[in-house]
Chain A
Amino acid sequence: MLRLREVEIRRFAVFGHLVVRPSMDPERPLTVIRAENGSGKTTFLRALLWGMYGEEGLPGPAGRFRVHPASWTPDEEGIETEVSIEFETDGSSQHDPAPGDGRWRYRLKRSVRTIRREAAKDDEPDFVRAEERTLLMVRKQDGQWRPETAGPDAVVRHLLPHALRDFFVMDADKAVDFVGGIEAKRMKKGDVEEMTTFAIRSLLGIQVFEKAAGRLDRLARDLGREASKAIGGQEVEELQREKDRQEVEQQRLRKEVASEKEELRSLRAQLAECKEELHAEMMRAGAYESLVQRKKLAEQQLERASGRRDEELAGLSSGLEDSRLLASLAVPALAGVVDGLKPRYEAGAIPLRHLPFVRRLLDEAVCVCGEELVGGSERRRLVQEQLDRGDRMAATAGFQGELYESANALLTAARTPAWLRQQRSRESRLATANQEIDAAAQELRDVNGRIGAIDENKIRSLRDAEAATETRIDQLALTTGMHERELADLGKVLEAVSKRLSTKRRAAAIGHESLRAQAIAERGTEVLKRAYREVQTNQVSELSARMNRLFAQMAANVDAEERWLREDARESVQMIAQVGVRPVEEQGDRFEIFALNHKGRAMPPTEINGASRRVLALCFVLALCAESRTHGPLVADSLLNSMSGAVRRNTLEVTATTAEQPVLLLTGSDLGEAEQVIVDRFAGAVYTLTPQWSGAGGGDVVRRTGNDRHVTLLCACGPREYCPVCERVGQADDPAWSMRTGETDGGAAA
């Protein structure tokens, strides 16, 4: 069993500092916290949830909920919020980490600093939470507090699983969702079923069987798959067939290669024989070697003679362009020129050689005869005339003189037989070269004839055989090489196939073991499933029975006492003859809460009024907690909303006596005289939350203040008590109220 010992809250929303110590008295297990609407009942629940689960326990998006005091404006220094929860376990809860291991006390302390957010965007809050710390202390048997080594979250989530938080810290308005929601907000049937099913499975723990069966089933399937994969019968057969095929191919190739090699050996021997025979035959045919030598010599002679012939031909050709020949052919012209100019040349008329001499005479003014050639003299005039005429003739004479000398030289050369002797000599050499060419050609023809004569005989056939054998050997060597490579590749393939086959066969042996394990796992799964169905049926039956008993208690005496109830409401409660939980038709794995009338007909939620649905939901929660051995506290808000008369009284009493540690947050209107009797009888602790703010008004414990502070105070006043903390505002003149004496806050800090 898990029980709250103390809840201390510092600077959380509307709370400044308060300490609540729920009742630990087994005879008086009820704790009542009286507070009007808006006084902080829901905030108290949220503080508790934040203390237990941190951010997860808060509503809305992460980081948006304002845990810091409402009257505080975030600043740079920030403000620290802290919730401390002290609780103890006795090992009886199914969620206890050490069941049956004696009584343990824990103190869970969670704190956080809220500071101003710099440059907050429009959609961001103006604060940010930082430095969140969680500390879980455990008090061992020696009475010393020490940090829990397993860590706070590990322990808290074991003892108070987050998924079940609504069963420990319950908002009754929310609990009504189990029966379809409040009047104003009806839920879909599927969602209700899902929520109910989740609660049943989680709290009863029957999902443990389901999970175990699922795990075993998965194991069986995995084993089956592994076995199939490992055994792989078809694959082994295919591999074996592949191996057989490859081996046959290997044998065939080996035979082929052996045959080819044998043929190669034979062919090479044949070739050697053929060459020997050819050589011998050629030797017999007559000095083949010398014939080859003669042929080579003749070819060389032919080449040399042809070269000489070409040279001589070129010489003869250039001889026809020789200037000596041309001069010889021009002899008539040359002779005419020479003959025509010779007298003049010999007379000194050409070229004119006397002109420089005459010019010097004139310059010296003395004639060759010694007479002076004075200016104006007849002789000088004559000499000058001769000189002028000579200048005009000089060009022609010079040309003629040049022509005469050159033509005479050419004519002399032209009349010599040098050109003809040269041509004759060339013709002679050409003839020699032609003879040599003819001789060499004749020799070549002769040698080739002899060699050809040899080829025509047996040698030709031998050479043909030699060539054919060589070709065949080349082809065969190529084929054999290719086949040998194929054989090598095939050997590798065979090796790989054999290895895979061997591996597969070993795996098959393991696979058979897996098959046996699979069969065992399947049997185990079946057993677990049967057990699961059995447990589920039994537990749900017991849950229904408990629900039914609780409902009967809560709805007792309605007929006699509730005359003032509306007719339809009274009828609604009276008509319900049986309640419980049952599997949804055709969906055995889902559950729904049902209510039957006296005729055994199911009553749909629309026929059940709000109070009845609330009672029904509460019965479900209480029964489920009891059946599940959760053994935890029940911190409930709005439990008695919409209830009155006997139902309200019965519900309060049943809750007080059924729940392990009920902590109920109630309004003053929930606590009539009859309820006060129950509180007096079962409550081990009573508190009053008093809100105070400037605009406050109404309610029985609301303080008006002169400032803007919005803080809720806590005191230990009971339903009809007041003290200096809570004062009496609404009921100042009511004689039913009395001043409480003793501690002002009952031990709780205000």
Chain B
Amino acid sequence: MTFFHRLLTTKGHALRLPLELRDDVELYVRHLSPSAPGPERAPFGRRVDLWAYSVMTAVALGLAPVDDKKAVRGHRFKDTGSIDLSPDFCTLLAAVAAAGLGLDGERARDPAEIVKYANRLAAAGCPIVIERLKALDMKLTPLQKLQAHAEEMLEGLDLVSPAGEAQAVIE
């Protein structure tokens, strides 16, 4: 357990996704029933995975976090105290919050503020993700669409070449 993992998971903080996208979220998250769609149709194993991807999508695309009041009205699907979050992801959340809320401010050290800020980013990124998944392209599965979307974002960040090759030079 790292410093940030302990910081965020010692106490539960609500994780929220836009209420209006609730049905779409359920569509792309895998469920336990045998007849439920597999990874091709439902690329995310859990809601929190979709939430994390949405947060990082907003960061990658430089989206402004949505209004705090709007984010608070979102669908609370889980809290940090009752879910398995990886230590690295907790660090990422702290870094994202520090970058957005200011490195020296007290808020950047407050786990509630960190999660609240991440919820606002998720609310900004989630519509983009859902839109991409729902995009009309009969040749691609949702999994492939998401993979393409991730690569496009990495490309936009100059982390991969347009041809899809990794930019080793960055290092």
Contacts and interface: CB of A to CB of B under 8 A. Distances in A.
Interface in A312-347: 313-314, 316-321, 323, 325-334, 336-337, 340-341
A417 B167 contact: yes
B40 interface: yes
A326 B147 contact: no
Interface string B22-43: 0000000000000000111001
Interface stretch (B12-20, B66-74, B75-83, B96-104): B96-104
A470 B82 CA distance: 65
Contacts of A320: 43-44, 49, 53, 143, 146-147, 150
Interface SS, A side: helix
A399 interface: yes
A341 B60 CA distance: 20
Contacts of B168: 416-417
A414 interface: yes
A415 B160 CA distance: 9
A317 B30 CA distance: 10
A260 B47 CA distance: 71
B166 A421 contact: yes
Contacts of A328: 154, 157, 159
Contacts of A330: 56, 59-60, 92, 95-96
A410 B4 CA distance: 13
A407 B159 CA distance: 17
Contacts, number: 140
A412 B88 CA distance: 13
Nearest to B43: A317
Contact of B45 (A317, A326, A329): A317
A332 B59 contact: yes
Contacts of A333: 59, 92, 95-96, 98-100
Interface string B120-163: 00000000000000000000000100110011011001011000
A417 B147 CA distance: 15
B99 A336 contact: yes
A332 B92 CA distance: 11
A415 B170 contact: yes
B95 A334 contact: yes
A423 interface: yes
A399 B105 CA distance: 11
Nearest to A402: B3
Given A403-B95, A417-B168, A323 B89 contact: yes
A329 B143 contact: no
A415 B2 contact: no
Contacts of B59: 329-330, 332-333
Given A316-B147, A323-B86, A407-B91, A329 B60 contact: yes
A310 B51 CA distance: 24
Given A328-B157, A337-B99, A420-B166, A321 B91 contact: no
A667 to B, nearest CB: 129
A313 B39 contact: yes
Given A313-B38, A396-B109, A323 B92 contact: yes
A317 B39 contact: yes
A407 B52 contact: no
Contacts of B150: 320, 325, 329
Nearest to B46: A321
A71 interface: no
B94 interface: yes
Contact of A326 (B92, B159, B160): B92
B109 to A, nearest CB: 5
A406 B53 contact: no
Interface residues of A, number: 43
A421 B165 CA distance: 9
Given A314-B39, A329-B154, A415-B159, A406 B103 contact: no
Contacts of B2: 406
A407 B95 CA distance: 7
A319 B44 CA distance: 10
A336 B99 CA distance: 6
A310 B38 contact: yes
B4 A321 contact: no
A331 B157 contact: yes
Contacts of A318: 45
A714 to B, nearest CB: 127
A329 B38 CA distance: 25
Contacts of B119: none
Interface residues of B, number: 50
B145 to A, nearest CB: 11
Contact of A423 (B60, B96, B147): B147
A400 interface: yes
B171 A332 contact: no
A332 B44 CA distance: 24
A337 B39 contact: no
A423 to B, nearest CB: 7
B57 interface: yes
B92 A399 contact: no
Contacts of B56: 325-326, 329-330
Nearest to A398: B3
A326 B53 CA distance: 7
Interface in A367-417: 395-396, 399-400, 402-403, 406-407, 410, 412, 414-417
A337 B95 contact: yes
Interface in A416-460: 416-417, 420-421, 423-424, 427
Contact of A399 (B44, B109, B147, B166): B109
A321 B53 contact: yes
A150 B88 CA distance: 130
Interface string A662-706: 000000000000000000000000000000000000000000000
Given A317-B43, A329-B153, A423-B147, A337 B98 contact: yes
A328 B147 CA distance: 14
A341 B109 CA distance: 15
Contacts of A424: 164
B88 A323 contact: yes
Given A323-B89, A326-B92, A331 B147 contact: no
A305 B109 CA distance: 50
A417 B160 contact: yes
B16 to A, nearest CB: 18
B95 to A, nearest CB: 4
Contacts of A414: 159
Contacts of A340: 99, 103
A396 B104 contact: yes
A310 to B, nearest CB: 7
Given A323-B89, A328-B154, A407-B91, A316 B143 contact: yes
B104 to A, nearest CB: 7
Nearest to B167: A417
A337 B99 CA distance: 6
A323 B44 CA distance: 14
A522 B146 CA distance: 123
Contacts of A316: 39, 43, 143, 147
10 contacts: A316-B143, A326-B89, A329-B150, A332-B62, A332-B157, A333-B96, A406-B2, A406-B3, A410-B88, A424-B164
Interface of A: 310, 313-314, 316-321, 323, 325-334, 336-337, 340-341, 395-396, 399-400, 402-403, 406-407, 410, 412, 414-417, 420-421, 423-424, 427
Interface of B: 2-4, 38-40, 43-45, 49, 52-53, 56-57, 59-60, 62, 86, 88-89, 91-92, 94-96, 98-100, 103-104, 106, 108-109, 143, 146-147, 150-151, 153-154, 157, 159-160, 164-168, 170-171
Given A320-B143, A334-B95, 20 more contacts: A314-B39, A320-B44, A320-B49, A326-B56, A328-B157, A329-B57, A330-B56, A330-B60, A332-B59, A333-B95, A333-B99, A337-B98, A402-B4, A406-B3, A410-B91, A410-B95, A412-B171, A415-B159, A417-B160, A417-B165
In the A-B complex, the 10 residue pairs with the closest CB atoms: A417-B166, A317-B39, A329-B56, A333-B99, A329-B60, A323-B88, A415-B170, A321-B49, A336-B99, A313-B39
